[in-house]
Every structure is written in structure tokens, then in C-alpha cells.
Amino acid sequence: MEQICILHVRETVCVNRSRLHQLTRQLGETDAQDILCRAVEEIATRLELGHALYKKDQHQEMRKCTRSLVAIADQIGMDTLTMVAEDVVTCIDASDVVALSATQSRLLRAGQRSLEEIWALQDISV
């Protein structure tokens, strides 16, 4: 083997803008921005905690953390992150450690991209 190719995975994500607009209509722009900022902080924290629990093989605690991530991501319209987090829970429930490894990696990628997308949307005012 003479050449080694390095693959860089770029996760495509979907943020539900209508969910963000709905939050703004229901709560007003200031309160919606406040909830969005707190949700983004919680998502970042739970992604980090979930990964730490994964590395320690604490799958039941990881499951709880990931379930709460699902609820928060869904509330602010992070559709891809919600879907991938649900897949992580499914892997834990099935005790499929190989699939969990792959899905946990995807969760981290989707989480990072989703957070980037939300920040980009905030810059153009959702």
C-alpha cells in the first residue's frame, strides 16, 4: 500500500427554522433568545458529559443524559441532532457496542455542526 487517504466526515444537519420562529412568536424575541442560549449551553454540556460516560462504559447514565439531549434538541428544532441522539439510545437499549461506537461518533459530529448552524442562524436573526 503506497498511498493512504484520510477521510474527513462533514456531517450535514437540519435545523427546523419553523420551530425557532414558533418559539419567537410564542415567547417574544428576548425570551426566545434566552431559551435558545440556555438550550445551546445545555446541549454542549450534555454532549460532553455523554461522551465522558461513553468512554467510561457507563451506558445507563449515558442513556439518561442522551434522552435529555433529545428533549432539548427537539425543543429548539435541531432535527438531525434529535434523530442521531435517539439512535444512540436505541444502540444502548440493544446493547450493540459496535453500533454505539459509530453512532456516538456521529452524535458528536452532528452536535458540533448543529451548534454551528444555530449560531449562524442567530447571526442572521431567526
So what's the pLDDT on residue 10?
73
pTM of this structure: 0.86
For the stretch 78-92, pLDDT in tens is 999 999 999 999 999
So what's the pLDDT on residue 1?
59
For the stretch 10-41, pLDDT in tens is 778 888 999 989 999 999 999 999 999 999 99
DSSP bridge pairs for 78: 15
CA distance linking residue 87 with residue 106, whole number of Å: 10
Cell output for 105: 461518533
Residues 114-124, mean pLDDT to the nearest whole number: 79
Q: At what angle do helices 59-75 and 79-93 cross, to 10 degrees?
A: 160
Please name the residues in contact with 49: beta carbons below 8 A apart, sequence gap of 6 or more: 65
Q: One-letter amino acid identity for 105? A: S
Please name the residues in contact with 75: beta carbons below 8 A apart, sequence gap of 6 or more: 19, 35, 39
Query: Given CA atoms 16, 21, 22, 24 in this order, what sign does their dihedral have?
Result: positive
